[in-house]
Amino acid sequence: MKLRIIGWLSAGLLYTNCALAQTYVVGVEEQSFQPHYWQDEKGEYRGFAREVLDLFAREAGIELRYQAMPISQLTRHLLNGGVDFKYPDSPHWGQDVKQGKGIVYSQALVDYVDGVLVEPSRLGKGVERLQRLALVDGWTPGGYQVRIAAGQTQLIRSGDLRQMLRLAMRDEADGAYYNVVVATYYLDNIRARPGALVFDPALPHSRGSFHLSSVRQPQLLQRFDQFLSAHAGAIAALKERYGVEANLNSEYLGMEQWKVDFLKRQKEKHKP
């Protein structure tokens, strides 16, 4: 009888702890941005970002619910309390809307490079040859504002990544501006056209980081920063597995992996 009572008490405590777990809503982008994040066929949020945030939730003893919405709505929901957190975010995005609104940001979770992908025959031809630049709606091409204002580069907008890359591959644009890792992943793994477009490091490009942001939960954001530091090894392993920073700080950025492996082997052979 005593063992049965103890079992009931243990089950009751477990149920109470689960029931008391606080739930927070993370506003996420309603788009496929592989390998960083995407929604699967059932609408479930997946990817590197989900794994990191779920790991934090387990460590913190909380529950996170992911609410996908159009990118244009995310900041508004963050500011009006519709969501507790926004991911991804950056203090450099939308400063005119965010100024004075009390948004706080976590440490950088993952780094990225946005730049122009071109057909291999156009590689290294210079910015003067970039007269038609394909762009997904909502994106701003860093480093090209002066040329755009002067009429030297015309923007050709499209609804999504697939349409934008197709413009460049069909020579309807001289290049396509996007997150280099995401665009390369799409060409290699989804479009099955590896090497059809390649990153041109000689053209203007920008570097940045994705952060978790909040207005309502600054203290929990501090705990997230502590989590990032304490679990740096586990997060680095997730980055490696998903390839979210693949060759980000090397000369191989934007190349197909087989070519990277080949070039690395060649370098090893020719070492003195």
CATH of the domain at 55: 3.40.190.10
Domain match, 194 and 122 both: yes
Domain match, 92 and 216 both: yes
Residue 157 has pLDDT above 90, yes or no: yes
Domain match, 88 and 134 both: no
pLDDT tens for each residue of 260-270: 554 455 555 55
Domain match, 124 and 231 both: no
pLDDT tens for each residue of 197-207: 999 999 999 99
Q: What is the mean pLDDT of the chain?
A: 89
Query: Cis link prior to 88 (omega < 30° from 0)?
Result: yes
Determine, yes or no, domain membership for 38.
yes
Determine, yes or no, domain membership for 55.
yes
Domain match, 91 and 133 both: no
Domain match, 56 and 99 both: yes
Domain match, 234 and 102 both: yes
DSSP 127: G
Question: Looking at the 3D structure of the chain, how many domains does it have?
Answer: 2
pLDDT tens for each residue of 40-61: 999 999 999 999 999 999 999 9
Q: What is the sign, positive or negative, of the torsion defined by CA atoms of 136, 165, 48, 233?
A: negative
Domain that holds residue 99: 22-110+208-242
Determine, yes or no, domain membership for 30.
yes
Contact (Cβ atoms closer than 8 angstroms) between residue 90 and residue 210 = yes
Determine, yes or no, domain membership for 223.
yes
| Distance linking the first and last C-alpha atoms of the chain | 77
Q: How high is the pLDDT of residue 212?
A: 98
DSSP 188: I
- Name the pTM for this structure: 0.85
Domain match, 139 and 173 both: yes
Domain match, 88 and 116 both: no
Domain match, 180 and 53 both: no
Domain match, 80 and 93 both: yes
Residue 69 has pLDDT above 50, yes or no: yes
Determine, yes or no, domain membership for 89.
yes
Helices (H), the chain: 2-20, 48-60, 71-79, 95-98, 145-149, 161-169, 180-185, 218-230, 232-242, 257-269
Determine, yes or no, domain membership for 261.
no
Determine, yes or no, domain membership for 227.
yes
Domain match, 159 and 202 both: yes
Beta strands in 22-174 (DSSP E): 23-29, 38-39, 45-46, 63-69, 85-89, 104-105, 110-118, 132-136, 154-158
pLDDT tens for each residue of 90-141: 999 998 899 999 999 999 999 999 999 999 999 999 999 999 999 999 899 9
Q: How high is the pLDDT of residue 137?
A: 92
Q: What is the per-residue burial (b if ≥16 Cβ within 10 Å, else e) of 94-105? A: eeeebeeeebbb
Spatial CA neighbour of 175 closest among 212, 147, 150: 147
DSSP 213: E
Q: How sure is the predictor about 191, in pLDDT bands with cuts at 50, 70 and 90?
A: confident
